[in-house]
Structure 1
Amino acid sequence: MSPIFEPLGSPNRWRPSALAGGPFAGLQGGAVASLLTAEVEALAAVRNWGTAVSATAWFLRPTPMTDLRTQLSVVSEGGRVSVIDNTLWPDGEDQPCATVRLTLSRERAVEVPGSGDHASEPVDPLQFPLRSPHAVHGRSWFMDAMEARASDDAAWFRLHHPITEGAGPLAGVLGPADWTHGIARPFQNVVADPNPNLTVQLFRPPVGAWVGVRAQTRWRPAAGIGTGSGVLLDVNGEIGRVSMSVILVPFPKAEPASQTAPAQG
């Protein structure tokens, strides 16, 4: 399968496919965060940064469907922990659209008596009903790049297209995790709920292609804000956590029947 972001001729230049699209205008935030994270993970082995254990993304403004450029910055390069920023701009523009800060750690075993991984019964997400949500604009979008299924207590996602060639484990988790705030929405078809940020923390990489989210959401309509959070899973159990802020935005009011709807661009 072709990657969702294709590298252009020069370093740190990318072209998104239609599968990077969001439900409204521009790119899906989870796709953007995944791209920025994948770039850092690709350098981790070369720079001896270790494993990416946490990523926090800030979505500063909508990212347009156009050629993109990125720039990495080393915040801290330590003996055990390193912190790396990666920022994205539309090519030819000065105002950034998104930035991600990754924490990476070199693994080092610590003996703790009585500790150990607690195995759970493996889950087969293929037994759960298939979900195929569509974007309001009717075009291809990021959800089309993955298979989605739902159990009684979790939503399951499996990417069928890589974010980039050689993307690392954390990059593969961020896309599914970005749907957390929409999985357990307290009200349906009332407001839009974009998330201006996204934080994912892993204590182990997922086994296999499936990523599950056991989500919770809390909304405060009187202030127009909320949160989304959840436990992240693979087929063998828990792998980490996700959280984000939510901004509640009213849907546009329907035009009266007597008025002519404006042309859509």
Structure 2
Amino acid sequence: MAAYFRRTGPTAFDPSPDVGGAWNTAEQHVAPTFGLLTHLVESDRLARGREDLAPTRLSFDVWGPYPLARMDTTVRVLRPGRGVELVEAAVSCGGRQVATLRAWLSASGDTSALAAGIPAPVPGPQDTPAWDPTTDWPGGFVASIEVRRELAEPGRGRVWARTDVPLLQDEEVGPLARTAGLLDVANGMTVRADPRRVAFPNLDLTAHLFRVPVGGWLGLDTSVTFGPAGAGLTSAVLHDTTGPFGLLAQSLVVRPLG
């Protein structure tokens, strides 16, 4: 099976047509790139022997649109430490930086006796109606995912998403990176306005995690807000099939079309 990306060098990757964007099908959808950046951070963590650390925050920034072309990557530790580290991964395309991830990693430990305040679970994918996301969006990436959705109203709903497309060709990828490669669908699966009439791309995505997801289905209990001055916010409680595992937020630029 074809993957979203194929490694062509130690730090270089080529995208497949399945990475095609939703706002512009000649550009890349950022969702798989977020998964790739997370995989790079995870691979670097393991290569440095830091199995004792787990990601607690993934903060992505999108520097601009980028084509379906070769991508070059870097990873560096910005803040080393015994119990806490800050690691940055970056992707460039066409000689221009296009996306970055800054990930906080912290030492793992058993706090099960203190666990509390966890959001309520939501009905699982088996209890959520199937929905075709190509109803609202074009592009290879959107066509490559399976979605189940139940809307309460425009901009408010519950979504489950998964994909059978591997993130990387012939390379093992962990459940966190696979999940991170789906996070960006939060902004497009419970739209507040028709994307053919209103543009609302996100500039960033930050996920705060209180445990590592198991992979497979990603659940999003989502709310989309449009403000009065051209800005918006998509927020979601993150779930896997065992329960909630974190929170997500995306800053939106809201622009009427036409």
Q: Aligning the two structures, in what range does the TM-score lie when normalised by the shorter sequence?
A: 0.7 to 0.9
**Alignment-derived partner of residue 169 in structure 1:** 175
The whole-number CA distance in structure 2 between the counterparts of 1:12 and 1:241 is: 30
Structure 2 partner of 1:63: 66
Corresponding residue for 2:141? Answer: 142
Change (3 A) 1:126 1:53: same
**What are the residue-to-residue correspondences of 1:105-116 with 2, within 5 Å?**
105-110=106-111, 112=113, 115=115
Displacement of 1:208: 4.6
Q: TM-score, normalised by structure 2?
A: 0.85
In structure 2, what is the equivalent of residue 243 of structure 1?
249
Residue 151 of structure 1 aligns to a residue whose secondary structure is: strand
Which residue in 1 is equivalent to 2:187? 181
Deviations 1:176-211 (A, max 9, x none): 321222333333343111001011122122235111
Q: Which has the higher strand share?
A: 2
- State how far apart, in whole Å, the 1-side matches of 2:129 and 2:218 are: 15
Give, in whole Å, the separation in 2 of the partners of 1:51 and 1:214: 24
Q: Which runs of 5+ in 2 are unaligned?
A: 152-156
Q: 1:36: which partner in 2?
A: 37
Partner of 2:202, secondary structure, is coil
Q: Is the 8 A contact 1:44 1:51 kept in 2?
A: no
- Measure how far apart 1:34 and its partner are: 1.3
Q: What SS does the corresponding residue of 1:126 show, helix, strand or coil?
A: helix
Distance, in Å, in 1 between the alignment partners of 2:223 and 2:119 is 24
Distance 1:208 1:32, change over 3 A: closer
Q: Confirm or deny: 8 A CA contact 1:181 1:216 kept in the other structure.
A: no
Give the 3 Å change call, closer, same or farther, for CA 248–81 of structure 1 in structure 2: same
1:156 corresponds to which of 160, 164, 176: 160
More displaced stretch, 123-132 vs 196-205? 123-132
Please give the TM-score of this superposition, normalised by the length of structure 1: 0.83
Q: Report how many aligned residue pairs link the two structures.
A: 246
Structure 1: how far apart are the matches of 2:239 and 2:29? 22
The 1:218/1:137 distance shift into structure 2, 3 A limit, reads closer
Does 1:200 find its partner at 2:207? yes
Cα 1:83–1:121 shift into 2, 3 Å: closer
Residue pair 1:39, 1:167 contacting (<8 A) in 2 also:
no
**In the alignment, which residue of structure 2 is the partner of 1:130?**
130
Quote how far apart the aligned CAs of 1:135 are: 8.2
Report what 1:76 is aligned to: 79
Q: Which residue type is aligned with residue 179 of structure 2? A: V
Q: Does 1:47 align with 2:48?
A: yes
Percent same amino acid at aligned positions? 27
| Alpha-carbon contact 1:119-1:236 (below 8 Å) kept | no
In the other structure, the counterpart of 1:6 is: 6
Q: Deviations over 1:118-173 (max 9, x none)?
A: 898895413422222228885x4212232111135410011211212322333222
Give the unaligned 5+ runs of structure 1. 254-265
8 Å Cα contact 1:55-1:199 kept in structure 2: yes
Alignment partner, residue 220 of structure 2:
213
C-alpha RMSD of the superposition = 2.5
**How far, CA to CA, are the matches of 1:122 and 1:247 in structure 2?**
29
Given that residues 123 and 236 in structure 1 are in contact (C-alpha distance below 8 angstroms), is that contact kept between their aligned partners in structure 2? no
